[in-house]
Amino acid sequence: MSGKNILIIEDEAAIREMVSFALGKAGFNLREASDAAEAEELMAEQLPDLILLDWMLPGMSGIELARRFKRDEYSRQVPIIMLTARSEEDDRVGGLEAGADDYVTKPFSPRELVARIKAVLRRAQPEGEGEMLEADGLVLDAASHRVSVEGKSLDLGPTEYRLLKHFMSHAERVFSRGQLLDAVWGRNSFVEERTVDVHILRLRKVLGLHGRDRLVQTVRGAGYRFSAQ
Amino acid sequence: MSGKNILIIEDEAAIREMVSFALGKAGFNLREASDAAEAEELMAEQLPDLILLDWMLPGMSGIELARRFKRDEYSRQVPIIMLTARSEEDDRVGGLEAGADDYVTKPFSPRELVARIKAVLRRAQPEGEGEMLEADGLVLDAASHRVSVEGKSLDLGPTEYRLLKHFMSHAERVFSRGQLLDAVWGRNSFVEERTVDVHILRLRKVLGLHGRDRLVQTVRGAGYRFSAQ
DNA sequence: AACCCATGTTACAGCTTTGTGACAGGCAAA
DNA sequence: TTTGCCTGTCACAAAGCTGTAACATGGGTT
């Protein structure tokens, strides 16, 4: 759990220092940015395992920055914890909407922050990187973002790809629509559960073109399951 | 998502009532305890799907109780949401450390509580390692929501599945129709007791296709029992 | 045997869940 | 800007499930 790379984007030096001290003691690796530009530079240099993002930043607001990160295919996988002042608490929904995975209210204790970070990292962990997944002749190569059957590659949209990847890395397991929303769309996306059905349909259509549509199964009253059976 | 069983452990009657009302309307099933002893009794009777636990309790503190639940092999899988007063906010870290999955600060709105509960329930699911039940060659895998005999999957409807799961996790025990309604249909369902008979029949039919119909036995005047004998 | 009552069975209308096609808006590439 | 892909939602269709009533069966009693 430790040794993880964390990026803090915060303009108040005092807070940066406090966090730096606390996280250092907890065994984390911290890089600091005081504004959006600096942050993007560091992001480009090396993707952190988690981002601590201040709500209010000079120039671009934290929420806007979060939205930008979550829009990008590469940086979207990095979990974000928003740092908000108590008076901004009511806006927290906006933060969650923008893609934040959690938020911490200032003033916060170092212990709380560390606990939150660990919790979020734990949740994010299961996403495997750069692996190869296979099931019934269907091959997913995470590194190249490609899925193929017998050498022929499938034409999947981004969401279908993520959905399939999630299914393939958790084969045999039933997921409710809500769980799929959490896992594939991200926590706190304000999307109708039925939207999942539609994407399941789209995914099945593509798989069907290669005779593999039965891989995605409906479990009535429970959700969906990916299985080679 | 509804029909879930929730246990609230809270000494203030006013809060219990408010929560009871809110959760009832959201389709949850609520049981109430006002102290630790009562809570443990209800826990022993039937494990809930989620626990709402007040921080301050007469006798044993909520945090201590949470720790106890999380220590027990049986009850550790149940997610806990702590209810804390604003003044106790600083201690929330302790709650998370004790094993709480989330916390809600009093005063809270019913909507927020319901949202939190749903979020935690969704999240909690994946944690529960695939529970496997077995009896006389009949295998039930909770993670994949699948029941099979000799590798062949049975085609069960949602209610049949839940009924069978309940039976298998309490083999040898006789349940009255009323108890089955409580456990499988939920405490506030308005369903005729004879409906149970019909579902027992349906379940038996499916089991019968695989030569296992004798597993569900009638105990005249008492109810039904699942037994490998 | 006649009867009572608990349980087994069947049929079905209504309801819930899921599948599907269409569509408007958003975003990015050209 | 235009074009083309992707997305999220709806509305409607299709499936599948559910609860009940009504009738059948069968064991146990008197």
Q: Say which CATH number the domain at B178 has.
A: 1.10.10.10
Phi, psi for residue A177 in degrees, rounded to 5: -55, -40
Domain end among A124, A141, A167: A124
Closest Cβ opposite residue B144 in set A112, A126, A225 = A225
Which bases along strand C come within 7 Å of a protein CB atom? 6-11, 17-22, 28
The number of beta carbons lying within 10 Å of the beta carbon of residue A41 is: 10
Q: Is the pLDDT of residue A1 over 70?
A: no
C-beta of residue A151 within 8 angstroms of C-beta of residue A31: no
pLDDT digits (tens, 9 = 90+) for A181-226: 988 987 667 899 999 999 999 999 999 999 999 999 999 999 999 9
For residues B2, B6, B11, B13, the Cα torsion angle rounded to the nearest 10 degrees is 30
Same domain? A98 vs A161: no
Rounded to whole angstroms, the Cα distance separating B161 from A222 reads 11
pLDDT digits (tens, 9 = 90+) for B7-22: 999 998 998 988 888 8
Same domain? B120 vs B31: yes
| Per-position b or e across A142-178, b if 16+ CB within 10 A of its CB | beeeebebeeeebebeebbbbbbbbbbbbbbbbbbbb
Residue B132 contacts A where some CB pair is shorter than 8 Å: no
CA distance A106 to chain B (A): 11
pLDDT: which is higher, A28 or B86: A28
Same domain? B34 vs B146: no
pLDDT: which is higher, B203 or B46: B203
| Optimal mutation site among A109, A116, A177, A181, interface B, most CBs of chain B within 10 A | A109
Rounded to whole angstroms, the Cα distance separating B98 from B117 reads 18
Rounded to whole angstroms, the Cα distance separating B113 from B78 reads 17
CA of A157 to C1' of C20 (A): 19
B143 to A173: CB separation less than 8 angstroms, yes or no: yes
Rounded to whole angstroms, the Cα distance separating B4 from B26 reads 10
Looking up tokens 């915060």 gives A10
Closest Cβ opposite residue B125 in set A179, A187, A225 = A179
Q: What local confidence, expressed as pLDDT, does residue A127 receive?
A: 46
Residues in chain A within 8 Å Cβ distance of B130: 173
| Cis peptide, bond prior to residue A58, ω within 30 of zero | no
Looking up tokens 């009302």 gives B21
Q: Per DSSP, what are the bridge partners of residue A29? A: A5
Q: Is residue B192's beta carbon less than 7 angstroms from any atom in nucleic acid strand D?
A: yes
Rounded to whole angstroms, the Cα distance separating A93 from A181 reads 17
C-beta of residue B103 within 8 angstroms of C-beta of residue B82: yes
Residue A191 contacts B where some CB pair is shorter than 8 Å: no
The number of beta carbons lying within 10 Å of the beta carbon of residue B226 is: 22
Name the nucleotide with the smallest C1'–CA separation from A199.
D7
pLDDT category, A128, cuts 50, 70, 90?
A: very low
Q: What percent of chain B has pLDDT over 70?
A: 88
Q: Is residue A198's beta carbon less than 7 angstroms from any atom in nucleic acid strand D?
A: yes
Average pLDDT, chain B: 85
Same domain? B82 vs B20: yes
Residues in chain A within 8 Å Cβ distance of B97: 115
Q: Is the pLDDT of residue A74 over 70?
A: no
Q: What local confidence, expressed as pLDDT, does residue A222 receive?
A: 95
pLDDT: which is higher, A69 or B183: B183
CA distance A174 to chain B (A): 5
C-beta of residue B148 within 8 angstroms of C-beta of residue B168: no
Same domain? B108 vs B140: no
pLDDT category, B24, cuts 50, 70, 90?
A: confident
pLDDT: which is higher, A201 or A44: A201
Rounded to whole angstroms, the Cα distance separating A93 from A80 reads 14
pLDDT: which is higher, A139 or B113: A139
Q: What local confidence, expressed as pLDDT, does residue B127 receive?
A: 43
Residue B1 contacts A where some CB pair is shorter than 8 Å: yes
Q: What local confidence, expressed as pLDDT, does residue B194 receive?
A: 96
Termini Cα distance of chain A:
36
Same domain? A81 vs A143: no
- Domain span at residue A194 reads 132-226
Same domain? A49 vs A109: yes
pLDDT category, B224, cuts 50, 70, 90?
A: very high
Specify the 3-state DSSP secondary structure of A38.
Answer: helix
Helix ranges (DSSP H) in chain B:
13-25, 36-45, 62-71, 92-98, 110-127, 158-168, 177-180, 194-208
Q: What local confidence, expressed as pLDDT, does residue B90 receive?
A: 54
Q: Is the pLDDT of residue A105 over 90?
A: no
- Mean pLDDT within A12-39: 83
pLDDT category, A24, cuts 50, 70, 90?
A: confident
B145 to A111: CB separation less than 8 angstroms, yes or no: no
Q: Is the pLDDT of residue A65 over 50?
A: yes
C-beta of residue B138 within 8 angstroms of C-beta of residue B207: yes
CA of B168 to C1' of C20 (A): 38
Q: Is residue A214's beta carbon less than 7 angstroms from any atom in nucleic acid strand C?
A: no
Instruction: Give burial (CB, 10 Å; 0-12/13-18/19+) of A116.
Output: buried
Q: What local confidence, expressed as pLDDT, does residue B128 receive?
A: 44
CA of A208 to C1' of C28 (A): 28
Q: Is the pLDDT of residue A97 over 60?
A: no
C-beta of residue B60 within 8 angstroms of C-beta of residue B36: yes
Residue A208 contacts B where some CB pair is shorter than 8 Å: no
Same domain? B24 vs B87: yes
Residue type, A164: L
Name the nucleotide with the smallest C1'–CA separation from B199.
D18
Q: What local confidence, expressed as pLDDT, does residue A123 receive?
A: 67
Average pLDDT, chain A: 82
Rounded to whole angstroms, the Cα distance separating A62 from A52 reads 10
pLDDT category, B42, cuts 50, 70, 90?
A: confident
Same domain? B115 vs B35: yes
pLDDT category, B1, cuts 50, 70, 90?
A: very low
Q: Is residue B197's beta carbon less than 7 angstroms from any atom in nucleic acid strand C?
A: yes
- Mean pLDDT within B110-125: 75
In this structure, of A15-19, A87-91, B25-29, the range with the lowest mean pLDDT score is A87-91
Residues in chain B within 8 Å Cβ distance of A177: none
Same domain? B102 vs B199: no
Domain end among B127, B146, B173: B127
The number of beta carbons lying within 10 Å of the beta carbon of residue B37 is: 10
Domain end among A124, A155, A176: A124
Q: Is residue A194's beta carbon less than 7 angstroms from any atom in nucleic acid strand C?
A: yes
Name the nucleotide with the smallest C1'–CA separation from A200.
C19
Name the nucleotide with the smallest C1'–CA separation from B222.
C6
In this structure, of A147-156, B40-49, B83-92, the range with the lowest mean pLDDT score is B83-92
pLDDT: which is higher, A23 or B124: A23
The number of beta carbons lying within 10 Å of the beta carbon of residue A67 is: 16
Residue A169 contacts B where some CB pair is shorter than 8 Å: no
Residue A76 contacts B where some CB pair is shorter than 8 Å: no
For chain A, the domain total comes to: 2
Q: For position A94, which CATH number holds?
A: 3.40.50.2300
| Six-digit token string for A7 | 């990026």
Same domain? A110 vs A179: no
Q: Is the pLDDT of residue A158 over 50?
A: yes
In this structure, of A163-167, B38-42, B59-63, B86-90, the range with the lowest mean pLDDT score is B86-90
Q: What local confidence, expressed as pLDDT, does residue A156 receive?
A: 94
B125 to A176: CB separation less than 8 angstroms, yes or no: yes
Same domain? A103 vs A165: no
User: DSSP secondary-structure letter at B182?
Assistant: I
The closest of B201, B75, B81, B226 to B140, measured between CA atoms, is B226
- Mean pLDDT within A86-106: 59
User: Of chain A residues 100-119, which have a CB less than 8 A from chain B?
Assistant: 109, 111-112, 115, 119
